[in-house]
């Protein structure tokens, strides 16, 4: 640090590496200024005052090397060939089969950071997709533009998008899910038939009689509809006879 001051009443200011301190009297006050040497820039307050107590109102300040960290872009390149000074801007471009994620430019700020943040080059191909529980997909290619199709195991139904496409390194949607299929309750008539069949199985005589009835029915050449109609006619006649006797 180099001092350039004629002020004898104020003490030496705190040292700041890689800087020159200049003091001058302005309107009765002694002002001090830090000036960074070439290749460095000031971070913090630049000008200070020697107050009535003959002390400098100095807050933390420093001179930093005047370039940002070298930009690194894997699978791509930028238009920088050396140290980038504060205020410089650079641009980025990805190699073939890679896509830029982030800004295609950035600026070196006073605090030695890049703004916007440095981008990345991401492959246009997709990572292997996930498999839903009780499901699977068909399609072995994950390159950009490829399509895979999802299926569910037996007794499960697919909920979500069946087909996913790889678009510039990302799948078009989230993988679907496989949910269990709720069994439909059996109608009451089926339950009754099951009980009848069970009764037939438990009663060998009844089962035998039913078998004989069906055998005789086939030999007679009649159909079940004809037998049913005949029984209904006989039932109607019996009901008519009972009604006549009652009226007498």
Mean pLDDT over the full length of the chain: 79
Domain boundary among 33, 65, 97: 65
- Place 6 in a pLDDT band, splitting at 50, 70 and 90: very low
195 in a domain, yes or no? no
194 in a domain, yes or no? no
pTM score > 0.75 for this model?
Answer: no
Q: Which two tokens stand for residue 157?
A: 């139904």
Domain count along the chain: 4
Q: Is 10 in the same domain as 52? A: yes
Domain boundary among 65, 86, 113: 65
Residues 184, 185, 189, 195: is their CA dihedral positive or negative?
A: positive
Query: Please, which residues bridge with residue 23 across strands?
Result: 32
164 in a domain, yes or no? yes
Render the burial of 149-169: b for 16+ CB within 10 Å, e for the rest.
ebebeeebeeeeeeebebeeb
187 in a domain, yes or no? no
Q: Which residue has the tokens 């109102």?
A: 57
Q: Is 7 in the same domain as 58? A: yes
- Place 153 in a pLDDT band, splitting at 50, 70 and 90: very high
Residues 13, 18, 24, 27: is their CA dihedral positive or negative?
A: negative
pLDDT of residue 242: 59
pLDDT of residue 67: 77
| Strand segments (E) across the chain | 2-4, 19-26, 29-36, 40-44, 47-50, 61-65, 67-68, 76-78, 84-85, 89-94, 98-101, 105-108, 114-115, 120-123, 135-138, 147-152, 156-159, 163-167, 170-171, 177-180
- Place 140 in a pLDDT band, splitting at 50, 70 and 90: confident
130 in a domain, yes or no? no
Mean pLDDT of 157-164: 95
- Place 165 in a pLDDT band, splitting at 50, 70 and 90: very high
- Place 164 in a pLDDT band, splitting at 50, 70 and 90: very high
196 in a domain, yes or no? no
Alpha-carbon distance of 26 to 234, in angstroms, equals: 132
* pLDDT of 219 strictly over 70: no
The domain in which residue 76 lies consists of 67-123
198 in a domain, yes or no? no
Query: Between residues 54 and 108, which one has the greater pLDDT?
Result: 108
Mean pLDDT of 167-186: 87
Q: Is 9 in the same domain as 55? A: yes
Q: What is the CATH classification number for the domain harbouring 71?
A: 2.10.70.10
């Amino acid at each position: 640090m180099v001092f350039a001051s004629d002020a004898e009443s104020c003490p030496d200011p705190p040292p700041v590496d890689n800087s020159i301190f200049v003091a001058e009297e302005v309107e009765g006050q002694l002002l001090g200024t830090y000036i960074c040497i070439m290749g460095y820039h000031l971070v913090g307050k630049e000008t200070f005052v020697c107050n009535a107590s003959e002390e400098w109102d100095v807050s933390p300040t420093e001179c930093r090397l005047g370039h940002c960290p070298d930009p690194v872009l894997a699978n791509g390149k930028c238009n920088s060939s050396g140290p980038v000074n504060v205020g410089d801007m650079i641009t980025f471009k990805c190699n073939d089969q890679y896509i830029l994620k982030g800004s295609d430019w950035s600026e070196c700020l006073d605090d030695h950071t890049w703004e916007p943040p440095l981008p990345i080059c991401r492959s246009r191909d997709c990572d292997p997709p996930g498999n839903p529980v009780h499901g699977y997909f068909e399609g072995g290619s994950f390159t950009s533009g490829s399509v895979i199709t999802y299926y569910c195991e037996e007794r499960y139904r697919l909920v979500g998008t069946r087909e996913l496409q790889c678009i510039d390194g990302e799948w078009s949607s989230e993988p679907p899910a496989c949910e269990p299929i709720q069994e439909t309750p059996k109608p009451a008539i089926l339950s009754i038939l099951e009980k009848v069949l069970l009764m037939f199985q438990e009663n060998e005589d009844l089962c035998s009689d039913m078998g004989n009835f069906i055998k005789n029915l086939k030999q007679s050449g009649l159909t079940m509809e004809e037998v049913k109609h005949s029984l209904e006619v006989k039932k109607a006649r019996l009901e008519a006879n009972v009604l006549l006797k009652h009226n007498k």
